[in-house]
Amino acid sequence: MIVCPPDSITQLESSIADKVGPQRYKVWFKNATTFTFAEGFLKVGVPNLFIGNWIESHFSDTIADSAESITGQRPEIVFSISPELARKMRKKQPDSQVAFVANNPEREARKQIRSKTAPRPRPLKGRLEDFVVGPSNRMAYAAARSVTEQPATHYNPLFIHGGCGLGKTHLLQGICNEIRQRHPELICRCVSGEDFTNQFVFAVKGGNRDSFQHHFRNVDVLLIDDIHFFANKRATQEEFLHTFNAIDAAGKQVVMSSDAHPKMIGHLSESLVTRFVSGMVIKVDSPDFECRAEILRRRAQRMNLDVPEPVIQYVAEHVQANVRELEGALLRLVALTQLNGESLTLDLARTALKDLIQQTVPVIKLSDIESTVAIFFGLTPADLHTSRKTRTIALARGIAMHLARKHTDMSFPEIGRFMGNKDHTTVILANRRIQRLIDSTETVRWMTPSGQRERQITELMDELEQQIGKSNGSSR
């Protein structure tokens, strides 16, 4: 347990301000963060994902160092979206963080694009020894281990795909950490698709494109997380294609992850898809009951918590979507017991998680469907929620509604409310239209930046259902 002085938050904020300087503190922390010490971790509240990701990428060590200097222990840092901060920022504060980045492209590019002789980067959060292996991820884990032992030998490129929160990022970070430990002479870089894109934009704006290319092409192992972020970004795709070709020609290793199979990512160039599927493509599915229970045990152990086994089994039985939901449910129980001063019992778990389980199970299923369909058509879930009726959006929205009705217990009005407050008659008509296309095995057409595409509706639906993984549901 971390023992905090009465004014620990004030001391923490003062320490961070001293370390990052007044300008950065004003832009990234003042009125944009909240800090809460809990048992074993420090919760950082942020108004949105952009600020959260930036602070995590650039200031995690600073926050941890400051907390350690005050409490004597180094906490685990957890980021969460604060609705109150989000409301305050919308009302009072312009997006000064975006302006800070946009107005300082050269400085930020120089910070992010390091030379080959720069100090070795800090370890990433994910470690392979902490990864819980089960039937749903055993092949991906074995491939990751093989890459760390002999990079660019058996699985090159390695492409890992699966739903959100199933451990893809953990695997990529674990590969990078292991390679840096086993092969210190190798240059290993691990970034997200969004980070790669942002650094590319900064480099172009700041006239540092050569430095950017040297940074990413002169490596022994390159790991890119969330590669589907490249969809609809032609310049980034072209740059990454040249980067991939340069690394591949040098006989070096490339590892990527995505929420979808390469062929299921809409608006991704055929050249990239061809290269991605030329190596090993592995899917990670939802963990089974035993794997979920072990994940909870290890999480509790890292937090130095004594969680009764019946509680572990209850949470593992009823929260089946992904690892993030599992850990979120556990954190909710821990926070409740600390707040009320109660013991963590099975009855308490049933009461505390009743609403969470009832609300999240159907929503999670529809979220998976919506995300898969959106990625395939090169859209975002927000596009499906709009009232726009372009051919592509209308087709994607109708397919998502049809799959939601087929694979969830949600009613027509519930599906309509979830997908942008649509009227239930809209959902009914969309389902009838898609069903008619399926019954007559029609060919459907939609537009992409490279022109019109077409597929037989039955083949398209089969591929989408396989990607969603409805045949691989979790069970005890």
> CB atoms < 10 A from the CB of 375, how many?
23
What's the CATH number where 392 sits?
Answer: 1.10.1750.10
Strands, DSSP E only, in 59-181?
A: 76-81, 158-162
Angstrom distance (rounded) from CA 394 to CA 446 = 9
> CB atoms < 10 A from the CB of 12, how many?
21
Specify the 3-state DSSP secondary structure of 338: helix
* Amino acid 188: pLDDT: 93
> Do 298 and 367 fall within a single domain?
no
Tens digit of pLDDT for each residue in 42-53? 888 888 777 877
Angstrom distance (rounded) from CA 382 to CA 227 = 19
What's the helix, strand, coil split of the chain in %, to 5? 60, 10, 30
Helix (H) or strand (E) holding 46: strand 41-46
> Do 162 and 276 fall within a single domain?
yes
> Do 280 and 421 fall within a single domain?
no
What's the CATH number where 310 sits?
Answer: 1.10.8.60
Residue 351 lies in a domain: no
Residue 354 lies in a domain: no
Tens digit of pLDDT for each residue in 195-241? 899 999 888 888 888 889 999 999 999 999 999 888 878 899 999 99
Residue 454 lies in a domain: yes
Residue 110 lies in a domain: no
In the chain, % of residues over pLDDT 70: 87
Least confident of 75-84, 107-116, 168-177, 453-462: 107-116
> Do 265 and 140 fall within a single domain?
yes
Residue 114 lies in a domain: no
Angstrom distance (rounded) from CA 351 to CA 274 = 50
> Do 137 and 206 fall within a single domain?
yes
* Residue 192 β-bridge partners: 225
Number of domains the chain is built from: 4
> Do 232 and 129 fall within a single domain?
yes
* Residue 78 β-bridge partners: 43
Average pLDDT of every residue of the chain: 82
Alpha carbon 163 to its chain centroid, in Å, reads: 9
> Do 278 and 386 fall within a single domain?
no
Residue (of 162, 439, 109, 440) closest to 281 by Cα position: 162
Domain C-terminal end among 263, 284, 305: 284
> Do 276 and 168 fall within a single domain?
yes
Q: Give the domain range for residue 269.
A: 121-284
Tens digit of pLDDT for each residue in 318-348? 887 678 778 888 888 888 887 777 788 888 8
What's the CATH number where 87 sits?
Answer: 3.30.300.180
Angstrom distance (rounded) from CA 27 to CA 51 = 10
> Do 61 and 136 fall within a single domain?
no
Residue 272 lies in a domain: yes
Specify the 3-state DSSP secondary structure of 188: strand
Supply φ then ψ for residue 75, to 5 degrees: -80, 160
> Do 269 and 130 fall within a single domain?
yes
> Do 276 and 303 fall within a single domain?
no
Tens digit of pLDDT for each residue in 73-101? 888 888 887 777 877 765 444 445 555 55
| Banded pLDDT at 23 (limits 50, 70, 90) | confident
Residue 196 lies in a domain: yes
Angstrom distance (rounded) from CA 153 to CA 6 = 55
Residue 116 lies in a domain: no
> Do 329 and 409 fall within a single domain?
no
Specify the 3-state DSSP secondary structure of 466: helix
Supply φ then ψ for residue 411, to 5 degrees: -80, 170
